[in-house]
Amino acid sequence: MPAFLTPDTWDDWLSPEKLTGDRKTETLAMLEHSSSEVASTIREHIVDRKVSNSRTVDPADPSLLEPVG
C-alpha cells in the first residue's frame, strides 16, 4: 500500500526515532489521514503508448499527458 504524504507530514514521517506506544498510534493515524486526503485527489486517464518509449519520445512533448480519446 503506498503512503501519500502532504508537506506538513514529511518531518514526522521521516523522523529517525523508533515508534512505540502512543507515538506509533499517532503516526499511523496521521499517515492514514494524509494518505486518504492525497489519494482522493488523484485522477487517472489513459495516455498514448509512446509515453512508455523513452528512446524515441520527446519528454518535453505536452501531448504525452493528454488523455487518449
- Residue 63 has a pLDDT of 83
Average pLDDT, the chain: 87
What is the rounded CA–CA span in Å between residue 64 and residue 32?
32
What is the rounded CA–CA span in Å between residue 39 and residue 37?
6
> Is it the case that residue 43 has pLDDT exceeding 80?
yes
Instruction: State the residue range of the domain holding 49.
Output: 7-65
DSSP state of 19: P
- Residue 54: inside a domain, yes or no? yes
Contact 12/30 with Cβ under 8 angstroms? yes
User: Has this prediction a pTM greater than 0.85?
Assistant: no
Q: What is the largest CA-CA distance in the chain?
A: 52
Contact 31/3 with Cβ under 8 angstroms? yes
Total number of domains constituting the chain = 1
- Residue 1: inside a domain, yes or no? no
